Amino acid sequence: MKKNIYSNPYLAGVGLGIVMLLAFTIIGTGLGASGAMMRTVVAVEKVVSQEHVDNNFYLAKYGGGDKNPLDFWLIFAILGTFAGGLISGALSGRLKKETNKGPRISIKKRWVFAFIGGALFGIGTKLARGCTSSVALCGGATLDLGSWIIMLCIFAGAYMTAYFVRKLWI
Amino acid sequence: MFAPISIMTDMSKEMVLLIYFFIGIGFGFFLERGGLGNSKVMALQFYFRNMTVFKVMFTAIITGMTGLILLNAVGWLDLGSIYMNKSFLWPGIVGGLVMGVGFAVGGYCPGTSIVGLSTLKMDALFYILGSLFGMFIFGETVPYFEKFFKSGLMADNGTITIQKYFGMSSGLVAFIVIIIALLGFWGSEKVEKYFRDKETKNEIV
Q: Write the DSSP string, B114-142.
A: HHHHHTTBHHHHHHHHHHHHHHHHHHHHG
Put simply, the answer to whether B116 touches A85 (Cβ < 8 Å) is yes
Distance CA B180, CA B4 (A): 29
Following DSSP, what letter does each residue of B66-82 receive, concatenated? HHHHHHHHTTSB-GGGS
- At B157-188, the pLDDT tens digits run 889 999 999 999 999 999 999 999 999 999 99
Q: Which of A96, A119, A154 is the last residue of a domain?
A: A96
Please check whether residues A91 and A105 belong to one and the same domain: no
Distance CA B167, CA B163 (A): 6
Beta strands in chain A (DSSP E): none
Helices H / strands E in chain B, number of each: 10, 0
Q: Which residues of B touch A129 (CB under 8 A)?
A: 85-86, 88, 91-92, 95
Distance CA B205, CA B199 (A): 10
Contact A117, B124 (CB under 8 A): no
Instruction: Mark which residues 123-142 of B lie under 8 Å from A by CB.
Output: 123-124, 126-140, 142
Q: Which of A64, A96, A128 is the last residue of a domain?
A: A96
Query: A55 lies in which domain range?
Result: 1-96
Put simply, the answer to whether A85 touches B86 (Cβ < 8 Å) is no
The nearest CA of chain A is from the CA of B145 a distance in Å of: 10
Q: Which of A33, A64, A96 is the last residue of a domain?
A: A96
B187 touches chain A (CB under 8 A): no
> How would you label B119-158 residue by residue, b for 16+ Cβ within 10 Å and e otherwise?
bbbbbbbbbbbbbbbbbbebbeebeeeeeebeeeebeeee
Please check whether residues A51 and A116 belong to one and the same domain: no
Four-residue CA torsion sign, B66, B70, B72, B77: negative
Across chain B, which distance is largest between two alpha carbons, in Å?
67
B144 touches chain A (CB under 8 A): no
Interface test with A, best of B39, B77, B131 (most A CBs within 10 A): B131
Please check whether residues A89 and A164 belong to one and the same domain: no
pLDDT-derived band at A2 (thresholds 50, 70, 90) equals: very low
Tell me the average pLDDT of chain A.
94
The nearest CA of chain B is from the CA of A1 a distance in Å of: 10
Please check whether residues A3 and A85 belong to one and the same domain: yes
pTM beyond cutoff 0.90: yes
Decide: residue A65, CB within 10 A, 0-12 exposed, 13-18 middle, 19+ buried.
exposed
Cα A150-B144-A47 angle, rounded to 5 deg:
95
pLDDT tens, per residue, chain B with 205 residues:
667 887 777 788 888 899 999 999 999 999 999 999 999 999 999 999 999 999 999 999 999 999 999 999 998 888 777 888 889 999 999 999 999 999 999 999 999 999 999 999 999 999 999 999 999 999 999 999 999 999 999 988 889 999 999 999 999 999 999 999 999 999 999 999 999 999 888 877 5
Please check whether residues A71 and A27 belong to one and the same domain: yes
Put simply, the answer to whether A161 touches B39 (Cβ < 8 Å) is no
C-alpha distances in Å from residue A133, one per residue of A8, A61, A82, B47, B195: 20, 22, 14, 22, 29
Please list, in sequence order, all residues whose beta carbon lies within 8 angstroms of the beta carbon of residue B43, skipping any fewer than 6 positions away.
A102, A168, A169, B104, B107
Please check whether residues A134 and A75 belong to one and the same domain: no
B169 touches chain A (CB under 8 A): no
Q: At what angle do helices B122-141 and B89-106 cross, to 10 degrees?
A: 150
Q: What ipTM did this prediction achieve?
A: 0.96
Distance CA B91, CA B93 (A): 6
Q: What is the mean pLDDT of residues A44-72?
A: 95
Distance CA B30, CA B44 (A): 19
Domain boundaries, chain B: 1-80+166-205, 85-160
Please check whether residues A90 and A122 belong to one and the same domain: no
- Please give the tally of structural domains in chain A: 2
Please check whether residues A126 and A168 belong to one and the same domain: yes
Please check whether residues A8 and A39 belong to one and the same domain: yes
Please check whether residues A11 and A22 belong to one and the same domain: yes
Which pLDDT score, from 0 to 100, does residue A1 have?
35
Put simply, the answer to whether A121 touches B38 (Cβ < 8 Å) is no
Residue type, B96: G
C-alpha distances in Å from residue B71, one per residue of A44, B22, B67, B81, B124: 41, 22, 6, 13, 37
Q: Tell me if the bond preceding B4 is cis, omega within 30° of 0.
A: yes
Put simply, the answer to whether B26 touches A73 (Cβ < 8 Å) is no
- Nearest chain A residue to B29 by CA: give it: A84
Put simply, the answer to whether A34 touches B131 (Cβ < 8 Å) is yes
Contact B135, A123 (CB under 8 A): yes
Please check whether residues A92 and A122 belong to one and the same domain: no
Please check whether residues A51 and A63 belong to one and the same domain: yes
